[in-house]
Amino acid sequence: MFEHLAEYPGDPILSLIKTYQDDTRPEKVNLGVGVYLDAQGRLPVLQAVAAAEQQLRKAAPAPSMYLPMAGHDAYRLNAQRLQFGDQSQALAEGRIATIQTLGGSGALRTGADFLRQWFPDSGVWVSDPTWDNHLALFAGSGFTVGTYPYCRPASAELAFEAMLGTLSTLPRHSIVLLHPCCHNPTGLDLTNAQWLAVIQVLAEHELIAFVDCAYQGFGEGLEADVFAIREMERAGLSFLVSYSFSKNFSLYGERVGTLSVVCSSAPLATKALGQLQATVRRHYSSPPQHGALLVDLVLGSELADLWRTEVDAMRTRIAAMRELLAQALVEAGLPLGERIRRHRGLFSYTHLTRAQVLRLRQDHGIYLVDNGRLCLAGLTEEKLAYVSAAIADVIR
């Protein structure tokens, strides 16, 4: 019956987790998957999350009823306030439809299905390069996915003018996937002035921005990292935001995210919410409860301050590792060091060739994604000299 099935070659990022785990070399270093590890190279349990877990455990076991299709109500409100801000006019006017989703990927896929149904003639445009799964998720919903220039292969610099030029040529209602901070995979972010220029083009050409926010707090700070989202709202755009709490709550396994559709009126937001619920019902009916309860307990209480401090500490550690690696590579005479220094967030696009990435993996047990993406959050001071020497070895 199933003999015609094709082999699944595996995912370029997630398959690396298992390959890394199976590697028995003690010197191995995981700079592949986009996960924050602490200074000892461990996946942290945030103190704010641990306190919320304790509160849940102390309470009498609650019956486990289905959550509504849109998810946990208070969680959705707290997530909206974090993303759009307390001062958001769209929030005050009830113009944002938000559902709880299965992490950021679940938000992207639900948003893609929603758009495919209501904008069937639109195409989707993602940055070149982008997170591999963006292509798969939108293609999976039936879209044709094109790219806009983002990073110049030769110089590894941001191709901003070319990006803006391409966006200006897109047909009305084209869907444009944007990373508000910590661009995945390059680590090259737009300045605030560049964002304002992009927003002007989106408005003039009536493009649908789909903002994928998976790393709030890991770039410049919790507020600074959502500049693009806040400005799009202020500019009166109708747009979508997919959001993941996986990284900034270190809750990867709980699959906690949101999808928001910012509309021009409250009645339209009600309709959008209804359509999102219909999409959810067709896929998985309603989301799971535990992760959303934890995030809600933190964001809705004084634990939020502790959490903000912990996010700041994670960002500071990533930036410190970035600087140390940059310094070591510059000292080794490699221009890659200067480039890494200019990036933000978890990632740097090294422009190492696939052959060099494979040599790093095979000869040194250092795991990068095949496309040359390196995750700084997997680096520790203990491994720094080893990693920089290995990178120098494969480049020379």
Which residues are known to be catalytic? 131, 212, 247
Does residue 34 belong to the site contacting ligand LMR (CB under 6 A)?
A: yes
Residue 180 Cβ, how far from ligand LMR at the closest point, in Å? 15
Q: Please check whether residue 40 is in contact with residue 380, taking contact to mean a CB–CB distance below 8 angstroms.
A: yes
- Judged by CB under 6 A, does residue 390 bind ligand LMR? no
The residue among 34 and 187 lying less far from ligand LMR, judged by its C-beta, is 34
DSSP for 143-165, written as a single string: --EEEEE-B-TTT--B-HHHHHH
Residue, CB closest to ligand LMR: 34
Q: Is 184 in the site for ligand LMR (CB under 6 A)?
A: yes
Smallest distance, ligand LMR to C-beta of residue 3, A: 31
In this complex, which beta carbon is closest to ligand LMR, that of residue 70 or of residue 187? 187
Residue 133 as a binder of ligand LMR (CB under 6 A): the answer is yes
- 126 interacts with ligand LMR by CB under 6 A: no
Query: How far apart are the C-alpha atoms of 386 and 181, rounded to whole Å?
Result: 29
Kindly tell me which residue out of 31, 33, 99, 156 binds ligand LMR, with binding defined by CB under 6 A: 33
Q: Least distance (Å) from ligand LMR to the CB of residue 115?
A: 21
Q: Is the dihedral of CA 47, 52, 55, 57 positive or negative?
A: negative
Dist. CA 290–CA 298, nearest whole Å: 13
Report whether the peptide linkage leading into residue 185 is cis, meaning its omega lies within 30 degrees of zero. yes
Give, in degrees to the nearest 5, the angle at Cα 161 between 169 and 345. Answer: 115
In three state form, how does the secondary structure of 7-51 look? CCCCCCCHHHHHHHHHCCCCCCEECCCCCCCCCCCCCCCCHHHHH
- Closer by beta carbon to ligand LMR, 2 or else 8: 8
248 belongs to the binding site for ligand LMR (CB under 6 A) = no
Residue 40 to residue 365: CA distance in whole angstroms: 18
Assess 13 for contact with ligand LMR (CB under 6 A). yes
Total residues contacting ligand LMR (rule CB under 6 A)?
Answer: 7
175-178 β-sheet, strand order:
96-102, 256-262, 239-244, 208-213, 175-178, 124-128, 145-149
Q: Which is nearer to ligand LMR, 131 or 218 (CB)?
A: 131
Q: Is residue 131 close enough to count as binding ligand LMR by CB under 6 A? A: yes
Under the binding rule (CB under 6 A), the answer on residue 158 touching ligand LMR is: no
Site of interaction with ligand LMR (CB under 6 A): 13-14, 33-34, 131, 133, 184
